[in-house]
Structures are given as C-alpha cells and as structure tokens.
C-alpha cells in the first residue's frame, strides 16, 4: 500500500492525489509508489515498482476502462502526461504492469466541479413546462446542487411551480405553467463537491402561447398572395385573348372588300 502524496497546486486549480493502491502477489510483495508532478501546464502521473517483483512485459495507463497509453517497456517505472485543462481530465487512473498476475495502482485526480449547461439558452411557450439542465463530468461527483434565479434566493424543490431532480453529476429544473413576466431570465445552477464549487448559467425565454401560430399564419398569407396573383394574371390573360380574337375576325372582311374593289377597277380598265 503506497502512501498518499500531499496536495499540490496548478495555477488556480487545486488537484489532489487521494491515494495509490497496489494489488499484492502471492510469494512476492511488490510496492508501487504512485505520485503526480506538475509544471509548464502539464500533469505527469507516474508509478514506480520497488522491491521484489515479477518480470513485466510492458505497461498500460487506463481511465474508466479505456486504454490511454501502452508500451512494451520492461522497466519498473512508467508515466503518463496530461495536457490541457486539468478539470477536463479528472478521474480515476490506473497504471498497469503486465506481469503474471497483473499488478496495478490507482491514482485519483480530483478537482472542483466544472459545470456546463446542456443548453445555454432555452425557449418555452407560455403555459408549457420549461426544462433547464446542467451537468458536470468532473471527479469526484457533485454532492449537492442549488438552483436560483438571478438576483433571487435559492429555489426550493417543490415550492411554487418548481421541481428539481438531481442525481450525481446532473441536475434538472422544471418550471410548470411558464409565465412570460415571471419566468423569463437567467437561471444559475451551482454544484459543490469536496474540492470546491462550480456554476453555469441558462437563459430562459418564454414566448406567447400564440407564438407557435405565427409561422402557420405567415404560410397562409403567402399562399393567399400567390393565389391572388395567379387569379389576376389569368383574368388579364383571358381578357387579352378575347380582344385578340375580335381583331382577327374584322381584319379579313376589310381585306376582302379591298380585293373586290381592286378587281372591279381592273375590269373597267380592261373594257
């Protein structure tokens, strides 16, 4: 059993190695010393097996059942480097020695909750139920959630039209029978665990109960305008066709009269 190292600080983020546990092997008692170092925005997890131990054929680093890194190195020392925001990489890590049987140690990287809103902006119709959701993927899990509206006291579950459902790293606020004047605004979800607090903001916009009809009414108006335009066009076209037919009937009569006159003139000249 390895001793737990002391807490350390990375920027404004507090990280703490809770402990490292090594599984024993019958006949031999390997001792895995697990520790964490930080610097230059990086976090280095390391394991070193001391004492008598079986030959190893390599190492693996795992988190939540997923292999992050593996090698075929036979040394007693292995390390894994984490880059980026530490709160996004919190959790339980394992350094695994490929011996027979396998030997491993656990390292817990713990941070204050990093809270995110499922949607930063939610919309709801007046009279419907509004649903606001926040979550945190940080380790350890959130121990308590608190919802409150901007500038007001914390919301009590079951009070008024509010229902709060929280489970581990997720919380949900339901607002029954939304009211435009009372319920629109910013809502804050606050999470707490043993290492601190975190929060996120969700903006709720409540629309009139008739808001859903406006798109339909817009379509109806567009159809009416289109039908009217087609009707006017067809009416004008029909009128133009009637006028064209009238002109076509008189023109041949005039032409026949002219031809008959010309014929009579030619006959007189011949006589």
**pLDDT tens-place string over residues 232-250:** 877 777 776 666 666 555 5
Select the highest-mean-pLDDT range: 34-43, 173-182, 226-235.
Answer: 173-182
Task: Give, as one character, the DSSP assignment of residue 120.
Answer: S
């975190």: which residue's tokens? 198
pLDDT by residue (tens digit) across 6-26?
333 333 333 434 333 333 333
The rounded distance, in Å, linking the Cα atoms of 34 and 195 is 21
Which architecture characterizes domain 8-110 according to CATH? Sandwich (2.60)
Domain extents for the chain? 8-110, 115-207, 215-248
Q: Whole-model pTM?
A: 0.64
pLDDT at 188: 97
The rounded distance, in Å, linking the Cα atoms of 130 and 176 is 7
Q: Specify whether domain 115-207 bears CATH 3.40.50.410.
A: no
Strands 42-50 and 31-39: antiparallel
Residue among 230, 240, 175, 235 nearest 202 (CA)? 175
- Contacts of 51 by beta carbon, 8 Å cutoff, 6+ apart: 28, 29, 30, 31
Spatial contact of 18 and 45, defined as CB atoms under 8 Å apart: no
Sheet holding 115-117, edge to edge: 115-117, 130-136, 170-175, 162-167
Q: Which helix (H) or strand (E) holds 236?
A: helix 213-270
Spatial contact of 116 and 135, defined as CB atoms under 8 Å apart: yes
- Contacts of 121 by beta carbon, 8 Å cutoff, 6+ apart: 202, 203, 204, 205
Strands 121-125 and 196-207: parallel
**Section 156-183 average pLDDT:** 94
- Contacts of 62 by beta carbon, 8 Å cutoff, 6+ apart: 68, 93, 94, 96
The rounded distance, in Å, linking the Cα atoms of 82 and 73 is 20
pLDDT at 261: 56
The rounded distance, in Å, linking the Cα atoms of 134 and 246 is 77
Q: Which residue has the higher pLDDT, 117 or 222?
A: 117
Spatial contact of 114 and 137, defined as CB atoms under 8 Å apart: yes
Equal fold, 8-110 vs 115-207:
yes
Among 18-27, 36-45, 186-195, 258-267, which is the least confidently predicted range?
18-27
Other C-beta atoms closer than 10 Å to the C-beta of 73 total: 13
């Amino acid at each position: 059993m390895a001793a737990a190292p002391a807490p350390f600080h990375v920027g404004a983020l507090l990280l703490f190695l809770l402990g490292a546990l090594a599984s024993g092997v019958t006949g031999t008692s390997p001792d895995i010393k697990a520790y964490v170092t930080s610097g230059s925005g990086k976090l280095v997890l390391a394991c070193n097996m001391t004492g008598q131990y079986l030959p190893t054929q390599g190492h693996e680093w795992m988190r939540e059942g997923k292999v992050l890194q593996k090698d075929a190195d036979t040394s007693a020392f292995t390390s894994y480097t984490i880059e980026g925001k530490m709160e996004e990489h919190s959790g339980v890590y394992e350094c695994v020695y490929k011996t027979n049987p396998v030997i491993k140690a656990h390292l817990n990287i713990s941070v204050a909750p990093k809270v995110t809103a499922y949607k930063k902006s939610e919309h709801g119709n007046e009279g419907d139920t509004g649903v606001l959701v926040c979550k945190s993927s940080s380790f350890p899990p959130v121990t308590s959630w608190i919802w409150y509206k901007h500038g007001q006291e914390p919301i009590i579950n079951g009070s008024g039209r509010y229902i709060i459902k929280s489970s581990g790293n997720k919380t949900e606020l339901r607002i029954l029978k939304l009211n435009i004047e009372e319920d629109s605004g910013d809502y804050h979800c606050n999470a707490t665990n043993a290492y601190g607090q975190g929060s996120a903001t969700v903006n709720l916009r409540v629309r009139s109960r008739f808001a859903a009809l406006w798109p339909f009414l817009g379509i109806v108006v567009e159809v009416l305008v289109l039908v009217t335009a087609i009707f006017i066009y067809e009416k004008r076209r029909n009128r133009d066709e009637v006028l064209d037919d009238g002109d076509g009937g008189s023109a041949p009569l005039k032409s026949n009269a002219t031809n008959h006159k010309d014929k009579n003139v030619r006959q007189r000249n011949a006589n």
